[in-house]
Amino acid sequence: MNQEITYSQAQQKLEEMVAQMENNEIDLETLSQKLVEAKALVKLCEVKLRNIEDSIEK
């Protein structure tokens, strides 16, 4: 996963993936792999949010 990705880019990618999953555009075979990717994006977004919060508090 590219660490340089911005929060907005990560969020957009995540939303697109969820939409594809919901619309059954991803077959079951690749679903698990996509899920791992999506969870990594969630984690990345959470870290970025925490960093933003920390920098504002400083």
The footprint of another protein (CB under 8 A) covers 7, 11, 14-15, 18, 21-22, 27-29, 31-32, 35, 38-39, 42, 45-46, 49, 52-53, 56
CA 4, 10, 16, 20 torsion-angle sign: positive
Residue that the structure tokens 């508090």 belong to: 57
Q: How far is the CB of 5 from another protein (least distance, A)?
A: 15
Nearer to another protein, 3 or 55 (CB): 55
- Is residue 48 a contact partner of residue 10, using CB atoms and an 8 Å limit? yes
- Is residue 7 a contact partner of residue 49, using CB atoms and an 8 Å limit? yes
Q: How far is the CB of 1 from another protein (least distance, A)?
A: 16
